[in-house]
């Protein structure tokens, strides 16, 4: 299961867009999506799934174009994590974090108190991944497009690591590919790749500045 993070979003004001509609890929994001299409073109995929948000579907579109025999399935379990801070302007330095009106959201970072609990997020993501795996042939491969935090939490859960973490240390850049491998129906390993690494901007992996 190749779980892809969407490409760069056009967001010049630094809004934490989260689940908000209307956020689309930037020119660089579209270039990232095309790079992903090149990356997956030689692979015989059996299934394509996407988060319902625009940026995820736009990232999957070029991949789908190189595999026209496969329908794109929208899977709500792949959607971005809910976040009570969505809609606020964070900017380059995450300034909204220092607004006293937001401090109530940071009382329990282990849950976390600002949004969807990590355990809930991990459960729905791993369910989507396992469900996709169950529908493939023994050597089948699939692409699922999601978002940074859901992908990272799914990886930590799969690897048996604590779900609470430092957001600055997530290994899940824009247009990255986190691959969950299954053997005999059981998760056997996780690998990671960055096909569009040369297209990343300096702040492409910040915790809040690019949404997730």
For residue 185, what pLDDT is reported?
A: 80
pTM: 0.92
Checking if the pLDDT of 199 tops 90, the result is yes
Q: Is residue 210 part of a domain?
A: no
The chain-wide mean pLDDT, for the chain, equals 92
Q: Compute the C-alpha angle 154/86/101, nearest 5°.
A: 120
CB 129, CB 153: distance < 8 Å: no
For residue 159, what pLDDT is reported?
A: 95
Q: Is residue 47 part of a domain?
A: yes
- CATH code, domain carrying 104: 3.40.50.1240
Instruction: Indicate the number of domains in the chain.
Output: 1
For residue 203, what pLDDT is reported?
A: 44
Tell me the per-residue pLDDT of 51-65, one tens digit each, with 9 for 90 and over.
Answer: 999 999 999 999 999
Closest CA to 212 of 55, 12, 39, 2: 55
Tell me the per-residue pLDDT of 5-34, one tens digit each, with 9 for 90 and over.
Answer: 999 999 998 899 999 999 999 999 999 999
Q: Is residue 146 part of a domain?
A: yes
Q: Is residue 139 part of a domain?
A: yes
Give the domain extent around 39.
2-199
Q: Is residue 40 part of a domain?
A: yes
User: pLDDT band for position 37 (50/70/90)?
Assistant: very high
Q: Is residue 212 part of a domain?
A: no
Q: Is residue 209 part of a domain?
A: no
For residue 201, what pLDDT is reported?
A: 84
For residue 89, what pLDDT is reported?
A: 85
For residue 207, what pLDDT is reported?
A: 40
Q: Is residue 208 part of a domain?
A: no
Checking if the pLDDT of 204 tops 80, the result is no
For residue 208, what pLDDT is reported?
A: 41
Averaged pLDDT for residues 176-188: 92
């Amino acid at each position: 299961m190749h779980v892809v993070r969407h490409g760069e979003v056009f967001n010049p004001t630094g809004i934490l867009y989260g689940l908000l509609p209307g956020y689309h890929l930037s020119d660089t994001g579209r270039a990232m999506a095309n790079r992903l299409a090149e990356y997956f073109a030689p692979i015989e995929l059996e299934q394509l799934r996407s988060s319902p948000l625009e940026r995820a579907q736009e990232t999957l579109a070029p991949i789908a174009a190189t595999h026209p025999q496969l329908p794109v399935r929208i899977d709500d379990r792949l959607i971005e994590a809910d976040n009570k801070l969505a809609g606020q302007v964070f900017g380059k330095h995450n300034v909204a974090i220092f607004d006293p009106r937001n401090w109530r959201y940071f009382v329990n970072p282990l849950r976390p108190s600002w949004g969807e609990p990590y355990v809930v997020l991990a459960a729905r993501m791993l369910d989507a991944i396992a469900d996709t795996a169950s529908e493939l042939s023994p050597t089948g491969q699939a692409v699922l497009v999601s978002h940074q935090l859901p992908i990272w939490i799914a990886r930590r859960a799969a690897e048996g690591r604590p779900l609470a973490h430092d957001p600055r240390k997530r290994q899940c850049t824009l247009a990255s590919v986190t691959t969950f491998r299954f053997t005999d129906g059981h998760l056997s390993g996780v690998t990671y790749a960055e096909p569009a690494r040369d297209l990343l901007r300096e702040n492409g992996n910040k915790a809040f500045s690019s949404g997730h």
